[in-house]
Amino acid sequence: MIQIEEKGNSMNRLAPSILSADFSRLGEQVSLIEKAGAHIIHVDVMDGHFVPNISFGATVMKSLYGKTTLPFDVHLMIENPDQYMEEFVTDNTEFITVHTEACPHLHRSIQHIKSLGVKAGVSLNPATPVSVLETIIEDLDLVLIMSVNPGFGGQKFIPFSLDKIKTLKNMKDKRNPKLEIEIDGGINLDNIKTVTDAGVEIVVAGSSVFGAPDIKKRVKEL
């Protein structure tokens, strides 16, 4: 798997979500965000069951393999994610993230991800409290706070997400300092500093990047 230099909290990373990209120009747009300075490619996988939308599968992600040096951050918004994890493992894959709401045996799922040689993440829907991570926080490499209800791009940031970030940051500092905090949903130029000040280290941005008149400029602005 891709080797990422450990930088701790010294560097925030921008992870544009290709869910909002123009799929007729996907390779071109990924190359564009890489040249502009993006750090990660966020890959939103939706099955139409766990969330009310269908996006794409491993084939689309793998079409980018060899065309970018950016790591893949795979967000599985699907039922039964353990059945599909291996399909998303490439030399570029840094994270595979599953939803606690979709994993009745979350510890087993996290160990499965780690057995594949990639970092393991857990995502929380807006109504799911951070407290559900109490018993597993030390096993995680990443926690993804959803600041919109997952399924569609272009939604507005849910304000109480900030309280969840701060709660998670406190838990991280006490229990797992190497954990990375990620946020996804409604992030733009107006609120990106607010969430990073609260403790977010990886920022997912979809429509605010790929919906901008000048994608390269927007990446640099963010």
Question: Which candidate in 47, 73, 141, 184 is catalytic?
Answer: 184
Which of these ranges, 7-11, 82-86, 170-174, has the smallest mean pLDDT? 7-11
Is pLDDT of 8 > 60? no
Is pLDDT of 106 > 50? yes
Is pLDDT of 56 > 60? yes
Q: Record the pTM.
A: 0.92
The contacts of residue 87 (CB under 8 Å, 6+ apart) are 57, 58
pLDDT at 3: 44
Active-site residue 44, yes or no? Answer: yes
Mean pLDDT of 25-43: 96
Q: Which residues pair with 124 in a beta bridge?
A: 145
Is pLDDT of 212 > 60? yes
Which of these ranges, 33-47, 141-155, 208-222, has the smallest mean pLDDT? 141-155
Question: Which candidate in 44, 47, 73, 141 is catalytic?
Answer: 44
- Distances in Å between the Cα of 82 and the Cα atoms of 28, 89, 90 are 31, 12, 16
Active-site residue 184, yes or no? Answer: yes
Structure tokens at 186: 């409604």
For residues 92 and 107, what is the distance between their CA atoms, to the nearest angstrom? 24
